[in-house]
Amino acid sequence: MKLDAEFCESRCPVCVNARKGNRLAKALQRIELFLTGGGCPAGRDRQKKYGVKPEEKRPCPDSSRSGS
């Protein structure tokens, strides 16, 4: 199993549930971020790739349309 940005984004049981609002997952993630000084390697990779921390949701793509 490769620990990369995609793992953190879609398969990490702690990060995915923390972003969904699970209180226990959020607590575990805060502890992990504190102990590791920035999160696991997958979380740090996600931050580099997407520009958001492991506990933050990715911003939605701009859905505004330019109309005439």
Residue 20 has pLDDT above 90, yes or no: yes
The one-character DSSP state at 63 is: -
Residue 68, in any domain of the structure: no
More confident call, 27 vs 55: 27
**Secondary structure of residue 31 in the 3-state scheme:** helix
Residue 66, in any domain of the structure: no
Give the total number of structural domains in the chain.
1
CA–CA separation, 10 and 35 (whole Å) = 23
Q: pTM higher than 0.85, yes or no?
A: no
Note the helical H segments in 1-68. Answer: 5-10, 13-20, 23-36, 41-50
Residue 67, in any domain of the structure: no
What CA–CA distances, in Å, run from 32 to 61, 63, 64? 29, 34, 37
Residue 13, in any domain of the structure: yes
Residue 19 has pLDDT above 80, yes or no: yes
Q: Which domain holds residue 17?
A: 5-50
